[in-house]
C-alpha cells in the first residue's frame, strides 16, 4: 500500500506524505533511512474533512521512493495565499532547526489541493515548534454490526475454519512504535503509520486498510448469539448461518494478539469456551500471558505461531516480535498446557533447510504434538521475485521448467491472480506423507488439498474439490454486513 506524496522544491528538497486522518503521523519510508529527517506535521481542514501531511527534509534526492506514489512537485507560490492558513485551519507543528520555508511550501500544497473549499467552521491557524515531534493519536473504538465473517470455505470447501473474527480494522504490523511509545487504552503516544512494514506476502495486504487506530468493542452476549448461529457468513448473502459455529479462527485479515487488543481477545476466548466453540489463532504478536493461557486451555484453543523471515516481517520486528521471540512464546504456552504449534512459512520446492530443521527439532524436543507448514503463495508478481529471486514471467508456461541456478524445479501455477506453488520437494513429501504425522501442511494447488488440522483435528490429503459458485444478489437487496438480524433459538 503506497502513500501518496509530493516533492517540495525550495532551498532544500523535501518529501511530503499525505494521510486521511489528522492525528496520524507517517513513519519515515524505509528506503529513506539515513536520507530523511522529519521536519513537520501539518493538519488542515476543508469542507467537513480534516487531513494531514508529514514533511521530511532530504539530504539527497533519491532515484526512487518505492513506498510512495509521487504525483508532482510543489514550489512556493508567487501569489498571496497567506489567508489559506485561516481559511483551511492550518496547524503547523515543526521540528526546531527546520527552515521556515516549509511553511510556505505546505501552504502552497494545501491551497492547490483545497482550492476555494474552506473549513466548515474555521478556528484559525497556529505555528508550533518542537524539540522533536511525538504524535498523540486517539484510539477509535467501534462496535461492528456483525463480528463474525466467512472466509476460506468459500473457495476451499475442505477447510474446517467455518467462521472468522478480527478485533481491529487494520493490521497492527503497519503501526510502528517510536522510542517513547505508550498506550493507555485511549491514546497512542509516539506511534507512526507505516504500511510498508506490513508483511508483503500477506494474502490480506490488499484487502484491509493500514492500521488506522480503529479497535473493536465486542459485546459478549451478542458474540455468543453469533457463535450459536445468529450471523451471516456467506459473502453478500442474506441467509442466517443457523447452527452453532464449530471452529472459529481469530485473526482473518489482521493480527489479533497484540497488547492493544488483549482484553478483547480474552473476551472472545472466554465466550468460545462457554459456547464450546473450538479456536484456531495464527499470530506473530501474542506474548505469553497466564490469563490467556488459562482461557485458551478452557476453550480448546490452538495457537499457531508464525515462523517466517524477519526481513519480510518488519512491522512485527519493530514491535520486538522476532521469529526467535515467537518461538519462545510458543514454548511458554506449550509448557503451560496450551495447544501451541509452530506455523512455518516456506517455499516448498526447496528441501528443508537449517531454519526449518531447527524449528522442527525444537518442536520435537519440547513435546509439541506436531508442526504445520504453509507454502507461501504470491498475490503480486513483484513480491514473488523479491522473496524468491524468481522472475514471475515463467508462470505463464503450462509446464514446469528449471529457472535460474539450482537443482530444483520451481513450479508455480497462476490461479486467477495468485501465484500458487505446485511442486512439493520430495523431502517435504516424505515428511508430510499422509499429512497426519508430526509434519503437516496447509496448502491447496491445482490438483490436491492438504489440511494439517491446525492443531485441533487430524490432517488429510484429498483431491481438490471444485469451488462452489457464488450466487449473486440482485441490486434490490442492497445488503450490507447485517440486515434485519433476528435472534435464533437452539434447543
Is 486 inside a domain boundary?
no
* d(C-alpha 217, C-alpha 60), whole Å: 45
Q: Are residues 128 and 155 part of one domain?
A: no
Structure confidence by residue, pLDDT tens digits, 327-370: 999 999 999 999 999 999 999 988 999 999 999 999 999 999 99
> Would you give the DSSP letter of residue 59?
S
Q: Is 251 left (phi over 0), alpha (psi -120 to 50) or beta?
A: left
> What Å distances lie between residue 47 and 52, 82, 125, 397, CA to CA?
14, 19, 16, 52
User: Any idea which residue has 479462527 for its cell?
Assistant: 249
Q: In whole angstroms, how far apart are CA 163 and each of 127, 166, 229, 267, 473?
A: 50, 11, 10, 17, 21
Per-residue DSSP letter, 399: S
pLDDT at 470: 55
User: Greater confidence, 109 or 202?
Assistant: 109
491 assigned to some structural domain: no
**Which of 111, 133, 155 is where one domain is finished?**
133
pLDDT band at 401, cuts 50/70/90? very low
Widest CA span of the chain, in angstroms?
A: 76
Q: Is 41 in contact with 114 (CB distance < 8 Å)?
A: no
CA distance 390 to 416: 19
Strands 448-451 and 175-183 come out as: unpaired
Residues 328 and 414 in one domain: yes
The per-residue pLDDT for range 234-281, each reduced to its tens digit, is 766 678 889 999 999 999 888 999 999 999 999 999 999 999 999 999
Q: Would you say 130 and 93 are in contact if contact means Cβ atoms under 8 Å apart?
A: yes
- Do 173 and 219 fall into the same domain? yes
Q: Crossing angle, helix 354-366 and helix 323-335, to 10 degrees?
A: 20
Clarify whether residues 126 and 43 are in a common domain. Answer: yes
Claim to verify: residue 125 and residue 199 sit in the same structural domain: no
Does one domain contain both 77 and 151?
no
Do 142 and 33 lie in one domain? The reply is no
> When comparing pLDDT for 475 and 435, which is higher?
435
More confidently predicted of 174 and 484? 174
Helix, strand, or coil (residue 382): helix
CB 462 within 8 A of CB 158: yes
pLDDT tens, residue by residue, 151-200:
776 677 788 888 999 999 888 889 999 999 999 999 999 999 998 888 88
Residue 90 lies in a domain: yes
Provide the number of structural domains found in the chain. 2
Percent of the chain with pLDDT over 70: 88
| β partners of residue 450 | 443, 461
End position of a domain, from candidates 133, 165, 195 = 133
CA distance 203 to 377: 8
Q: Is 163 exposed, middle or buried (0-12, 13-18, 19+ CB in 10 A)?
A: buried
Q: Across residues 188-217, what is the average pLDDT?
A: 81
Q: Is residue 478 part of a domain?
A: no
Here the cell at position 355 is 531454519
pLDDT of residue 293: 98
Grid look-up 472466509 returns 151
> Is the same domain home to 144 and 68?
no
pLDDT value at 208 more than 60: no
Rounded to 5°, angle at Cα 418 from 413 and 419: 40
459 CB burial (10 A radius; 0-12, 13-18, 19+): buried
In a domain, 442, yes or no: yes
- The candidate with the shortest Cα–Cα distance to 190, out of 177, 174, 208, 209, is 177
> DSSP string spanning 3-26?
EEEEEEESSSEEEEEEESSTT--B
Tell me whether residue 482 is in a domain.
Answer: no
* Contact assessment for residue 188 and residue 139, using Cβ atoms and an 8 Å cutoff: yes
DSSP-assigned letter for residue 283: E
**Domain presence at residue 472:** no
Q: Count of CB atoms within 10 A of residue 55's CB?
A: 27
Give yes or no: residues 28 and 105 share one domain. Answer: yes
The domain of 329 spans 138-463
On whether the CB atoms of residues 249 and 281 are closer than 8 A, the answer is yes
CB 144 within 8 A of CB 481: yes
Tell me, rounded to whole angstroms, the distance of Cα 276 from its chain centroid: 28
Examine the domain organization and report whether 163 and 50 are in the same domain: no
pLDDT at 396 > cutoff 90: no
Locate 414 and state its grid cell: 497462476
* Concatenated DSSP letters of 126-174: EEEEESS---EEE-EEE--S-SEE--GGGT-TT----EEE-SBSEEGGG
Over residues 420-474, the pLDDT tens digits come to: 888 899 999 999 999 999 999 999 988 899 999 999 999 999 998 776 655 544 4
pLDDT at 412 over 80: no
Q: Nearest to residue 277, comparing CAs of 433, 129, 162?
A: 162
Q: Are 298 and 432 members of one domain?
A: yes
- Half-sphere exposure at residue 211, Cβ-oriented, CA atoms within 13 angstroms: 33
Q: Are residues 142 and 75 in the same domain?
A: no
Calpha distance 279→367 (Å, rounded): 21
Mean pLDDT of the chain: 87
Residue 351 lies in a domain: yes
Amino acid at each position: 500500500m503506497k502513500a501518496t506524496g509530493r516533492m517540495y522544491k525550495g532551498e532544500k528538497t523535501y518529501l511530503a506524505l499525505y494521510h486521511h486522518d489528522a492525528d496520524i503521523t507517517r513513519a519515515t519510508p524505509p528506503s529513506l533511512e539515513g536520507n530523511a529527517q522529519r521536519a513537520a506535521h501539518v493538519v488542515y481542514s476543508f469542507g467537513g474533512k480534516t487531513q494531514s501531511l508529514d514533511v521530511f527534509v532530504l539530504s539527497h534526492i533519491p532515484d526512487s521512493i518505492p513506498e510512495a506514489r509521487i504525483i508532482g512537485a510543489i514550489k512556493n507560490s508567487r501569489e498571496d495565499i497567506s489567508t489559506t492558513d485561516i481559511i483551511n485551519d492550518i496547524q503547523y507543528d515543526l521540528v526546531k532547526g527546520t527552515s521556515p520555508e516549509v511553511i510556505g511550501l505546505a501552504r502552497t500544497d494545501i491551497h492547490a489541493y483545497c482550492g476555494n473549499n474552506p473549513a466548515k467552521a474555521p478556528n484559525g491557524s497556529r505555528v508550533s515548534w518542537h524539540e522533536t515531534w511525538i504524535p498523540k493519536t486517539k484510539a477509535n473504538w467501534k462496535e461492528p454490526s456483525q463480528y463474525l465473517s466467512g472466509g476460506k470455505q468459500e473457495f476451499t470447501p475442505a477447510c474446517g475454519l467455518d467462521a472468522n473474527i478480527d478485533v481491529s480494522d487494520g493490521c497492527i504490523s503497519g503501526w510502528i512504535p517510536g522510542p517513547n511509545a505508550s498506550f493507555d487504552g485511549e491514546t497512542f503516544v509516539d506511534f507512526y503509520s507505516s504500511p510498508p512494514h506490513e508483511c508483503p506476502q500477506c494474502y490480506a495486504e490488499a484487502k484491509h486498510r493500514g492500521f488506522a487506530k480503529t479497535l473493536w468493542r465486542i459485546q459478549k452476549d451478542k458474540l455468543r448469539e453469533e457463535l450459536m448461529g445468529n450471523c451471516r457468513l456467506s459473502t453478500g448473502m442474506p441467509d442466517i448461518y443457523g447452527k452453532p459455529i464449530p471452529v472459529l479462527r481469530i485473526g482473518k485479515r489482521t493480527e489479533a494478539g497484540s497488547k492493544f487488543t488483549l482484553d478483547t481477545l480474552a473476551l472472545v476466548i472466554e465466550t468460545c469456551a462457554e459456547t464450546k466453540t473450538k479456536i484456531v489463532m495464527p499470530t506473530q504478536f501474542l506474548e505469553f500471558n497466564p490469563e490467556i493461557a488459562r482461557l485458551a486451555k478452557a476453550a480448546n484453543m490452538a495457537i499457531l505461531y508464525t515462523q517466517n523471515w524477519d526481513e519480510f516481517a518488519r512491522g512485527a520486528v519493530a514491535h520486538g516480535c522476532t521469529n526467535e521471540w515467537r518461538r519462545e512464546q510458543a514454548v511458554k504456552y506449550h509448557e503451560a498446557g496450551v495447544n501451541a504449534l509452530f506455523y512455518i512459512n516456506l517455499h516448498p520446492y526447496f528441501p528443508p533447510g537449517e531454519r526449518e530443521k531447527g524449528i522442527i527439532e525444537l518442536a520435537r524436543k519440547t513435546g509439541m504434538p506436531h508442526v504445520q507448514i504453509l507454502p507461501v503463495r504470491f498475490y503480486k508478481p513483484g513480491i514473488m521475485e523479491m522473496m524468491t529471486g524468481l522472475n514471475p514471467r515463467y508462470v505463464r508456461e503450462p509446464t514446469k521448467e528449471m529457472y535460474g541456478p539450482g537443482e530444483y524445479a520451481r513450479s508455480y501455477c497462476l490461479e486467477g491472480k495468485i501465484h500458487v506453488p505446485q511442486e512439493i520437494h520430495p523431502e517435504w513429501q516424505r515428511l508430510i506423507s499422509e499429512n497426519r504425522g508430526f509434519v503437516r501442511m496447509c496448502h491447496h494447488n491445482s490438483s490436491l488439498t492438504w489440511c494439517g488440522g491446525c492443531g485441533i483435528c487430524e490432517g488429510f490429503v484429498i483431491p481438490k474439490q471444485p469451488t462452489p459458485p457464488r450466487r449473486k444478489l440482485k441490486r434490490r437487496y442492497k445488503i450490507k454486513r447485517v440486515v434485519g438480524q433476528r435472534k435464533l433459538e437452539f434447543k
